[in-house]
Structure 1
């Protein structure tokens, strides 16, 4: 029996498969050898990062075979480099890398602890057993980073009840936060402590601080600033001036280094 023509369904050929296939072929043709090289490089970089993350746990964890008695431990701070750490301890960078099983000397992590072999000695001391501080002893100078200096300066200001911005500003004006520097007049390190000033401050506080060492230099600077703070009753201009020209000169001759004072005050407003 013949069907009603109106009830018949007209079937159209399915072209979706062919169109999608043509789209994929067109996409593949658009990938040039250059694109393939870039894709391959990206994959290699990702794989290398993964391998490094698996092979570079805490640096000190790799040195479990070393006893603590054989190590001086250095905790890595922001801004540290393995080269700077090696210079600080007067050590061979490759020795430190080998002991801590560091594969890439340009890749260390903040917060890790590095084993510095005990046979590696730090720089000679600039402070003698009789309290004398040597002049222009470059071999005794510590190395520092600005991040280390910033942290220690803030800590010292808090311990001695000094304004943080005063401590930071004077240190920047004096040395640019660099420990490994000796001025022509003999000023040492970050706080530019003179040898005779260090000797006098050590006698006053019954201390044994070596201005050639980073921590001790900042400590001496803070001790001196605190003495000036009390001596001039918190008069900021006189304190700043006296740090540069000496307390006796400010008391008897007044402030004559206004340029220095203005520079430090300007830095204080920045910090």
Structure 2
């Protein structure tokens, strides 16, 4: 029992204890923990858990039946079997879905929607890492999954709560501004709200805004199965963090800035708008794992070239400087080539590579898309 203030006059060896609960020795259902309560004795505990004093003493390395203290923990037999859930099936089966691409969708967005990897979609549809998709394209989405994974996904979804929140449009709102405010993308808001990414918002209109998904880093280190060097990814994350703290213009403001800058430098405004929309969706906060930054998705070496073209250092984290960099690069490429498609290919693939190797298949898709966008601007 619980040791009194004054111990008993003699310690009774456990070998001499004769109190045994008949037919209850051992632990056929395994062991569990028990915290000793005031008034407990080893005999009482043994009876409660259908075992013997000797079994408890041996299991807990006790030398005396009297020396158990209130609050201490003992290992005791379970009194009933533990019911274990039947293991989930792990047999893999392949599910194939045909997804029709809608305006504003990206491969990464589709991959996230179906919970598959980007490389899986690229491989299933014979696409390259920089291939473009267009509204109306039909993509095969194959996902290897198990019953357990589906159950886990349902549980995670229930625990996370609603995937979207309701938002009522106010005066001056734009899709870009709303997306930035809630840490998501224009395409995601448009898709959730079932509207075009170019839709004109009306005051009082109700939108569905996806909740931001927390992650260790907002900029990953891999895209389409290609892992970028640590130094490049680290620089991209620093740039993303800085842009997250800065005020940036809305998509409507960016569009006007692109037009003004293109006219100032003698570049077709529709071409500049098309490139900016294709590269970032007119979003200055866009940063890729390759450290392509801002509206025009300019990498540091491109920024150095553009700075030499304008005669001053351009800050790619500044929206106006970023747009200027992309526009003057387009101007230089247009002047160095015999056609607009070749200049656009140079912006995407690099002019030297285009001249030496011709356009890659994904470059051709990029150029075709830019030409379509240009005609719609």
Which structure carries more relative contact order (alpha carbon 8 Å, separation 6+)? Answer: 1
- Quick check: which one's helix share is greater? 1
- Quick check: which one's strand share is greater? 2
TM-score normalized by the length of structure 2: 0.36
